Amino acid sequence: MLGNVHQLSIGGLATTETPPAPADLAGEGLELWNGVASEYGICDAGGLQLLAAAARAAQRAQEARQAIERDGLLVSDRFGVLRAHAAVRIEQDARSQMLQALKQLHLDVEPLRDGPGRPPGR
């Protein structure tokens, strides 16, 4: 899943190309796609599906967060009783789905080091 990138040949020189994001992505979802796809070189079908699921979940969480910020954390029901905004649950579920999809990608989140041992200055 990792390490595979599209090879694009331009004038005899091979360059790496980040797979295009799904057309329905915007905001945090698009940022997540671009960041992860380019940094980890994901281009296999399974990895791209998992990344798309994570990106769509991130976008859904962002949309829910915007609704909460616009309407408030608590909203009145038809009887005037304050209840948690429905988007609170949507945001929680979407963030959980995003994290699950990212976990299934098995990304190595520790930065690469120049050599073995402890980092300098520690």
Domain that holds residue 59: 6-104
Half-sphere CA count of 70, side-chain side, radius 13 A: 8
Half-sphere CA count of 46, side-chain side, radius 13 A: 5
Query: What pLDDT shows up at residue 43?
Result: 86
Contact 35, 18 (CB under 8 A): no
Q: What is the mean pLDDT of residues 70-86?
A: 96
Residue 122 lies in a domain: no
- Of the candidates 49, 55, 46, the one whose C-alpha atom is nearest the C-alpha of residue 98 is 55
Quote the number of domains for the chain. 1
pLDDT interval class at 112 (50, 70, 90): low
Mean pLDDT for all residues in the chain: 85
Counting runs of H as helices and runs of E as strands, what totals does the chain give?
3, 4
Q: What is the mean pLDDT of residues 83-94?
A: 98
pLDDT in tens, 53-65: 999 999 999 999 9
pLDDT interval class at 18 (50, 70, 90): confident
Residue 109 lies in a domain: no
* Percent of the chain whose pLDDT exceeds 70: 76
State phi, psi for 80 to the nearest 5 degrees: 85, 10
Residue 90 lies in a domain: yes
Write down the pTM of the prediction: 0.74
- Residue 115 amino acid letter: G
